[in-house]
Amino acid sequence: MNKEQAQELLEKYKLGICTPEEKALLERWYLEESARQPMPEAPEDPAKEEQIIWNRVLGTLPAEPKIRRLKKWYSIAAAAAIFVFLSIGLHFIVNKPVHQQIASNQLHKNDIGPGGNKAILTLGDGKKIVLTGARNGLLATQRNTEIKKTEDGKITYTTDQSLSGKESAEVQYNTITIPRGGQYQVTLPDGSRVFLNAASSLIYPTVFVGNERKVTLIGEAYFEVAHNSHQPFRVSSNDQTVEVLGTHFNINAYSDERLIKTTLLEGSVRVSHGQKAAMLKPGQQAQISNNNTDSDISIIRDADIEEAVAWKNGLFILDDHIQPVMRMISRWYDVDVVYDGAAPDDIFGGEVPRFQNISEVLKVLQLTKKVHFKIEGRTIIVSR
């Protein structure tokens, strides 16, 4: 949507002739854009005040903003915000109550920046390489495998294929560990690419031998597996095993989450859990109760793919209860979370660029009026 189209949509809203889809788009767009825009000092002329805000908000519109489903509370809250906005102008918003101004200023004053490319590589001999500050080029050689760091901050493995016929006893294992506040990408010896999220780790051999390619995941990762019909690729995470020949999928297997989620984007995968197994098709998600070997495998046939891989695409999609949302924020910003009283039971919503400061994410959640935040050092205090 461009500026002219947005203006036409606003006029239709004032006249009460918007379709439900247009109304939902406008409400969503207004909440997200108003949350990102700092309010300027109000000029003497209220008409100019409104025009300044409109110019700044409309000027930030993307060419084709994404439309996502709205949670029930979110639609109601957005409709109320639009009603106030279009009925009495922006004077109310610019002249916010003092306590709201203080809360906003406090978030900015103690702001925390986003995470970035951070990782530690542990070699087969126990040597650790901090990848954040490591030089580009050759990092190490393990038997016939060269480990390099590329200019765009990725790790690649180049292996002499003559090793493929040797015994697996000669194969060494590496571990790449991503701390809180980090992410990293590694290209495995078979050419498969793995994108690792914060607070995650991957254990893998420096060369794949035998009749399978097996790795172990802790946390969350997105896999783009190179096809090899003679050597299935298996990912072990907690009590789950995912087997593929070559495909794209995301696994969320954090130990502090209630469910292990495997989401398929391309190809097909086989998910095993105890004595149970299920095949996934593109667009489906397997859900397994964490740390329960007897639980069934639930298949979501119309999964929210965009939400599952939002982290890889540089987004926070906040469609959940406050506790899982705050766990996601805690991992990426490397902060601790403390609740002052009982946490709200509401389903929250919103979409924020992942590389914004933490205050921008918290402000979107605060728009619900259901939750408030205070930043003290690297601790986020959550209250009603």
Distance CA 335, CA 286 (A): 29
Where exactly are the structural domains of the chain?
A: 3-95, 116-308, 315-383
Tracing tokens 């495909």 back to the chain, one arrives at: 247
Distance CA 268, CA 277 (A): 13
**Nearest one of 184, 337, 367 to 328, comparing CA atoms:** 337
pLDDT exceeds cutoff 70 at 301: yes
pLDDT exceeds cutoff 90 at 82: no
Q: Which two tokens stand for residue 53?
A: 């805000």
- Given a contact cutoff of 8 angstroms between Cβ atoms, the answer to whether 245 and 228 are in contact is yes
Q: Report, as an integer, the average pLDDT of 94-122.
A: 70
Q: Which of 26-35, 73-82, 195-204, 234-243 has the lowest mean pLDDT?
A: 73-82
- Strand 248-253 relative to strand 240-244: parallel, antiparallel, unpaired? unpaired
CATH class of 116-308: mainly beta
- Output the pTM of the full model: 0.74
Helix 3-15 to helix 46-58 angle, to the nearest 10 degrees? Answer: 130
pLDDT of 152-189, one tens digit each?
A: 889 999 876 654 445 444 788 999 999 999 999 999 99
Q: Report, as an integer, the average pLDDT of 286-305.
A: 89
Distance CA 137, CA 33 (A): 42
- Contacts of 161-165 with C-beta under 8 Å, sequence gap 24+, read 163/207, 163/209, 164/207, 164/208, 164/209, 165/209
Q: Which of 67-81, 96-110, 217-231, 328-342 has the lowest mean pLDDT?
A: 67-81
Q: What is the per-residue pLDDT for 28?
A: 56
Architecture category of domain 315-383 in CATH: 3-Layer(bab) Sandwich (3.55)
Q: What is the per-residue pLDDT for 142?
A: 84
- Strand 269-273 relative to strand 259-266: parallel, antiparallel, unpaired? unpaired
> If you ran DSSP here, which 8-state letter would residue 163 be given?
G
Name the strand (E) or helix (H) holding 298: strand 297-300
Distance CA 313, CA 203 (A): 24
Q: How confident is the model at residue 108 (pLDDT cuts 50, 70, 90)?
A: low
**Nearest one of 164, 158, 220, 159 to 194, comparing CA atoms:** 220
pLDDT exceeds cutoff 70 at 228: yes
Percent of the chain with pLDDT over 70: 69
Q: Comparing 116-308 with 315-383, is the CATH topology the same?
A: no
pLDDT exceeds cutoff 70 at 80: no
